[in-house]
Amino acid sequence: MDEIILDILQDSIAVKESSIKNNIDNIKAGAQRLAECITAGQKVLIFGNGGSAADSQHIAAEFVNRFRIERPPLAAIALTTDTSILTSIGNDYHFNDIFSKQVRALGKAGDIAWGISTSGNSANVLEGVKAAKELEMYTLGMTGSSGQLASLADLGFTVESDSTARIQETHITIAHILCELVDRILFPEQF
């Protein structure tokens, strides 16, 4: 059992290390875009399914509450949390529309839409990103090693793994790096 545990740990470390190194330029660009969006009084809309829905909520909380420093709240909304909206859209229209309708209702040019899909092919995430692009929002996409999301988004963060668990672990690590970089850009005097 010890060997299994240590093998999982080593695999997680290896995937994070290679993915972060491969995405370093995109991470820097993403942090800059997020900081510019927030500085301009705009907001970040974040969405995904399952574990990626939980990550959306986690990331939004880091922006709205705080990450590592005491600072004003930053505008971010997880589009995964309102069960009445999600179920009414899913029931009256289609599950593929649950994020695109919210993006159209809440998003505007200058905002950022941040879609998360480990497969890169979640239809509702892709539709949310497409709706954001129609509104002239900047789009971020977090995905695994395949799928359409990375090429559809203006800026994609890909994780070279076929393991959903490793992809999700790396997504949240990249998101935490983005949160810290945004804080450092917006509040340099606190570091």
Supply the pTM of this predicted model. Answer: 0.97
Q: What residue has token string 């997680």?
A: 12
Q: Find the domain containing 164 and state its range.
A: 2-190
> How many structural domains compose the chain?
1
Q: Could you write out the DSSP letters of every residue in 22-37?
A: HTHHHHHHHHHHHHHH
The CATH number linked to 64 is 3.40.50.10490
> What's the CA gap between 140 and 137, in Å, rounded?
10
What pLDDT, on a 0 to 100 scale, did the predictor assign at position 137?
98
At residue 186 the predicted structure's pLDDT band, cuts being 50, 70 and 90, is very high
Percent of the chain clearing pLDDT 70 (strictly above)? 100
The per-residue pLDDT for range 44-89, each reduced to its tens digit, is: 999 999 999 999 999 999 999 999 999 999 999 999 999 999 999 9
DSSP state of 66: -
pLDDT in tens, 126-144: 999 999 999 999 999 999 9
Report the pLDDT value the prediction gives residue 129, as an integer from 0 to 100: 98
